[in-house]
Copies of this chain bind each other. A is one copy, B any other.
């Protein structure tokens, strides 16, 4: 089998809410396996993530590249990177400093469904109002 390469050109890009040229990224704690968050990357975010070893995303709400942790200090250090069968989604096993979620939790998936009602099961690690000074 021919050697398969991973770079921006070999990825399949998607359009999210009308913004083209994005791939999905899922981050997972490299030790515990906890899924921490999901967001999108554009070319610059993808390439900066590989170059620096720190996860960068593209914010579809703010329309800009974003180094995760730039405001909070809660950087994500890449340990391993996987790509899915369709070449349109990345799985990054990372070392997460502090909490990944802008609401102050370790994981963005801090609420569990219980028959249509959401129960908060995550522990709050920081106060977003103190960390993200508006």
Q: How many copies does the complex hold?
A: 2
Encoded as 1 (CB less than 8 Å from any B CB) or 0, chain A from 8 to 41 comes to 0000001111100000101010001111011000
Q: Which bucket holds chain A's interface residue count?
A: 35 or more
- A interface: dominant SS: strand
Tell me if A117 and B26 are in contact (CB < 8 A): no
- Given A15-B16, A112-B80, A118-B5, residue A32 in contact with residue B35 (CB < 8 A): no
Complex Cα distance, B127 from A91, in Å, reads 24
Complex Cα distance, B38 from A113, in Å, reads 19
Tell me if A17 and B15 are in contact (CB < 8 A): yes
User: Which one, B5, B80, B110, contacts A117 given CB within 8 A?
Assistant: B5
